Structure 1
Amino acid sequence: MKKITITVKDSIITIIKINESDYISLTDIAKYKDPERSDYILQNWMRNRSTIEFIGLWEILHNNNFNSIEFDGFKNQAGSNTFSLTPKRWIAYTNAIGIVSKSGRYGGTFAHRDIAFEFASWISSEFKLYLIKEFQRLKQDENDRLKLEWNFQRALAKINYRIHTDAIKEKIIPPELSKQQINCVYATEADMLNMALFGITAKQWREANPGTEGNIRDNASIEQLVVLSNLESINSMLIHQDIAQPVRLQQLNAIAIIQMKSLIINSELKKLKGDKDND
């Protein structure tokens, strides 16, 4: 359990998180009034009818399991000289969640900030004001830190996205073919398509990758295979139009570059969006 401390009028006040809500130490607040009798201070506050009405109303608003019958019983007894109420008794009888008693490392009585501010008001109006101001400063610091972390993560994601896409472009976006490459006669249509997409023939790939299993297409990315399938269909149409191989190659190379860029950018944007949604 994470513990945070703030200093209010030279008193150390402990704050802990319970179910994402801030709970402030009533024990520490009581010690500001009387360091030796903090339990007695708390009991005196809790035996007041106005206190019971306030913490009971808080429970009614926030706690579906609150025992309102026991609450009414305590409220009716409040004000009697013989009536006393401790935090543990209140919790045990009413199933209260606004006040909690902790033992061990973070021992003491803690209350939701709404209740803690009410207790601080009973201790001292001046102390309550300083407590609220210091608590607000703490929350502002936390918000500023979270905002800074979010901006840093956002900037880092943008940088990584740019680095990653630039690296991908260097690896798999087809190079623009030279006039010499375009005008070269390729033995098969498959090699012509390899040139359009990969920038090399199957033979050239094998010579450059002697230890790699499979052929150039076996080692292609999903994006490259999608574009290759499109190029095959487009090439078939161009052949039926009696367009010469060099012209077809130039057109297919241009199409391959456009489609690969589009596929890569869309793929990376989806990844970034997915990461943000999961956060």
Structure 2
Amino acid sequence: MSKINVEGSEISIIAIDNRDYISLTDMVRNIENGSALIEKWLRNKNTIEFLGIWEEMYNTNFNSPEFEGIKNEAGFNRFILSVKQWVEKTNSIGIVARAGRYGGTYAHKDIAFEFASWVSPYFKLYLIKEFERLKEEEQKKLGWDIKRNLAKINYRIHTDAIKNKLVPDKLSKEKINFIYASEADILNVSLFGITAKEWRDENPDLKGNIRDYADISQLVCLSNLENLNAVFINEGMSQSERLEKLNSIAIEQMKILSESESIKKLK
């Protein structure tokens, strides 16, 4: 569940079958008799027609004959329709009623925006603005998660290559860790021009390590260098040869990445 704040109202958003559903209940929570507005909107003939068109576009199990009967009744003073009745009679998927802690009436974003427009065009515009902002943040987080997981995979490839090719048998744990650290520093020196210890000595007040303060371009390049170093290790290339080659590659890649429009957008 996600939440957005629209003009002082906290509005919940849930995912159903990978689709975003926005709480209509939250939209009218701060309006007097707000819950009655949802059913009033639902009884509107134009609303019924809109919902029917949406369902026929996206819902293969929509009960069209039942919908036609409801549409013919809409507009009469005697016409009454609740969300629960609408869902049960038509097999609707565009609007759902949820019970429990996060209960209420939720509608697919297309329908929720239509409801917001009926309540207040002003509110609708801000709702769309905040919803789009949320989606942008989710995309950024997704991109970061993908990059982080890719870095983990590349790190495993790199450390396995070290283990299989550079770590002799029956070494102490301390010496094995030294080999891993020295290999990590090959990448640090190739890209940043400095070892991890030198960076810590120069930045005693900063927490973490040099890679925690790298920018997007440097992290992408570092991920590439880990892969390449694993290949060079498996090929039997010496540490000095690898350092020189990786540094040359890092220089070329950083030139390209610094001019990349995609990287600029991530930044």
- Do these two structures clear the TM 0.5 threshold for a shared fold by scoring above it? yes
Which residue of 1 is the match for residue 49 of structure 2? 53
Which residue of 2 is the match for residue 29 of structure 1? 27
Q: List per-residue Cα deviations over 1:97-147 (Å, max 9, x = no partner).
A: 110001111111001111000000000111000000000000110110010
1:26 maps to amino acid: L
Q: List per-residue Cα deviations over 1:153-202 (Å, max 9, x = no partner).
A: 11222222111112111258xxxxxxxxxxxxxxxxxxxxxxxxxxxxxx
**In 2, Cα distance between the equivalents of 1:137 and 1:65?**
33
Which residue of 2 is the match for residue 90 of structure 1? 86
**In 2, Cα distance between the equivalents of 1:155 and 1:15?**
31
Q: List per-residue Cα deviations over 1:225-252 (Å, max 9, x = no partner).
A: xxxxxxxxxxxxxxxxxxxxxxxxxxxx
Alpha-carbon offset, residue 51 of structure 1: 0.4
The structure that has the greater radius of gyration is: 1
Task: Work out which of the residue numbers 101, 106, 114 in structure 2 matches 1:110.
Answer: 106
Which residue of 1 is the match for residue 77 of structure 2? 81
SS of 1:53 mapped into structure 2:
helix
Which residue of 2 is the match for residue 124 of structure 1? 120
Q: Say yes or no: does 1:135 pair with 2:131.
A: yes
SS of 1:79 mapped into structure 2:
coil
Which residue of 1 is the match for residue 224 of structure 2? none
Which residue of 2 is the match for residue 99 of structure 1? 95
SS of 1:106 mapped into structure 2:
coil
Which residue of 2 is the match for residue 9 of structure 1? 7
Is the 2:161–2:234 contact (alpha carbons within 8 Å) kept by the matching residues of 1?
Answer: no
Which residue of 1 is the match for residue 61 of structure 2? 65
**In 2, Cα distance between the equivalents of 1:171 and 1:4?**
47
**In 1, Cα distance between the equivalents of 2:155 and 2:64?**
56
SS of 2:101 mapped into structure 1:
helix
Q: List per-residue Cα deviations over 1:29-84 (Å, max 9, x = no partner).
A: 1224x2x4222101110111110011111111111111001111111111111112
Q: Give the alignment's TM-score, normalised by structure 2.
A: 0.62
**In 2, Cα distance between the equivalents of 1:84 and 1:9?**
31
Which residue of 1 is the match for residue 17 of structure 2? 19
Which residue of 2 is the match for residue 158 of structure 1? 154
SS of 2:147 mapped into structure 1:
helix
SS of 2:166 mapped into structure 1:
helix
Q: Give the alignment's TM-score, normalised by structure 1.
A: 0.59
Is the 2:62–2:90 contact (alpha carbons within 8 Å) kept by the matching residues of 1?
Answer: yes
Identity within the alignment, % = 47
**In 2, Cα distance between the equivalents of 1:131 and 1:56?**
23
**In 2, Cα distance between the equivalents of 1:103 and 1:37?**
20
**Where does the alignment leave 5 or more consecutive residues of structure 1 unmatched?**
173-204, 209-259, 263-279
RMSD: 2.4
Alpha-carbon offset, residue 5 of structure 1: 1.3
How many corresponding residue pairs? 176
Equivalence map 1:156-235=2 (5 Å) = 156-170=152-166
**In 2, Cα distance between the equivalents of 1:156 and 1:16?**
30
Ranges of 4+ aligned residues in structure 1 off by more than 2 Å: none
**Where does the alignment leave 5 or more consecutive residues of structure 2 unmatched?**
171-232, 236-267
**In 2, Cα distance between the equivalents of 1:81 and 1:29?**
26
Alpha-carbon offset, residue 17 of structure 1: 1.3
1:31 maps to amino acid: R
1:50 maps to amino acid: N
**In 2, Cα distance between the equivalents of 1:31 and 1:160?**
50
Equivalence map 1:197-276=2 (5 Å) = 261=234
